[in-house]
Amino acid sequence: MPKCIFCMIANKEIPSDIVYEDDQILAFRDLEPQAPVHVLIVPKKHIASLDNMTQEDQALLGYLMYKVPDIAKELELVNGYRLVNNCGEDGMQTVHHLHFHLLGKRKMTWPPG
């Protein structure tokens, strides 16, 4: 099985444009941005998707969510933002490492797709 690309980014095996990092999570710019600001926020622990979380992962996910407003503020997303998680094949999850897309600096449309 090939190594997880987001684990490789978290381990600094692949360069990325990091906008936030601490001992539990990493936020970096998406290589194919869908908005003027498009950042991926990932836990450093490998969790394939929301469907693969365990009870032990609750604190980590809570912490990640707690940090989202701080990251958004640092990126000057003062008029709001969208946070997206794709889960599974129908959800268009293409990288099997839990991640959230933080999108901003443009008016979002609804429905999203």
Do residues 96 and 4 lie in contact, with contact meaning Cβ atoms separated by under 8 Å?
Answer: yes
Please tell me which residue in 38, 97, 99, 101 is annotated as part of the active site. Answer: 99
Cβ within 8 Å of residue 89, ≥6 positions away: none
Identify residue 7 by its one-letter amino acid code.
Answer: C
What is the gyration radius of the CA atoms in the chain, in angstroms?
14
99 is catalytic: yes
Task: Give the C-alpha separation, 37 to 21, whole Å.
Answer: 17
Q: Which residues are catalytic?
A: 99
